Structures are given as structure tokens and as C-alpha cells.
Amino acid sequence: MSFTVRHATIHDLDIIAPLFDAYRQFYKQPSDLALARRFIAERFQHAESVILLALDEQGQGIGFTQLYPLFSSVRATRKYLLNDMFVVPEARRLGVAAALLEAAAEHGHAMGVSGLSLSTAHDNLAAQRLYESMGWVLEEEFREYNLAL
């Protein structure tokens, strides 16, 4: 399967929304296409994220990743949080995720950010192997905590 990866725009909303809905379902959320579409539309409308979109030869969406801008106070730099990445099951193990990660790194370089960060589930071993094979390093110096509000 050949595919391309490019920056998404608001005009890609109807391609991205079902992918984002499937991504949320992967993380045990109920399907809600309207919610997915609204959430992605708001990110575009407020320029709050960068979405990279993988398309097959027919222009069908087969994967995406979403980058959110962050800042490192200690380093006094901008960085990106690679918060979302999803590849449809039939396109997995074909290099789509690796291409999305490469495109994210290229975008980060072009924007002059100091780095990218991401989180994944402890049991998502396939993703962990991919990340590590592409030079991502497991954070061992700091613990991450969350507070639900």
C-alpha cells in the first residue's frame, strides 16, 4: 500500500473526524462522531494544534497524529506534545506510524522546537518498540502526575 503524509487543514475535517473517533474508541471511549468532529474543528479554528494526515492512494484517511504546542520553562524553548496518533487496523505494520512520526519530527525541526514528547499505555508494547527504534527515549528522570478536575 502506498500512502502520503501531509499537513491537514480544516478542509480535511470529514476525513480526520472518523479517525479521531476511532482513536478515542481505541482508548475505551464511546463512539461519538459529532464530538470528534467538533473537537477537531475547534483545534483548527483556534490554531491550537498541528495535524498530520496519512492518506492512501484513493485519498482515504488511514492515520493521523496531532501535535500540541508546549513550552519548556527550564530550557526556555517551545516543544510539541505528540498527544494523538492512530493508524487504521488494515494499514498497521506498513510504515504509516513511522512516517507520521518522521513528519512530526520534520515539522518540529522546521518550527525550531527543542523536542517532542509523548505518552503511551504501559501495555502498548508495539508502539513502544516503534518509538524506541526511531530514537525516542523513555523518560526515567521524572515522574508524571495528573490531577483530574
Which pLDDT band, with edges at 50, 70 and 90, does 42 fall under? very high
Domain count, the chain: 1
In this prediction the pTM is 0.92
Q: Classify residue 142: in a domain, yes or no.
A: no
- Mean pLDDT confidence for 97-123: 95
Q: Classify residue 31: in a domain, yes or no.
A: yes
- Mean pLDDT confidence for 34-54: 98
Sign, Cα dihedral of 82, 133, 3, 111: positive
Phi first, then psi, for residue 147 (nearest 5°) are -130, 115
pLDDT confidence of residue 146: 83
Task: In whole angstroms, give the CA distance from residue 5 to residue 59.
Answer: 11
41 conformational bin, left if phi > 0, alpha if psi -120 to 50, beta if neither: alpha
Q: Classify residue 17: in a domain, yes or no.
A: yes
- Cell numbers for 93, please give them: 505494520
Whichever domain contains 27, its CATH number is: 3.40.630.30
* Domain containing residue 115: 3-133
pLDDT confidence of residue 144: 83
Please tell me whether residue 70 adopts helix, strand or coil conformation. strand
- Mean pLDDT confidence for 36-57: 98
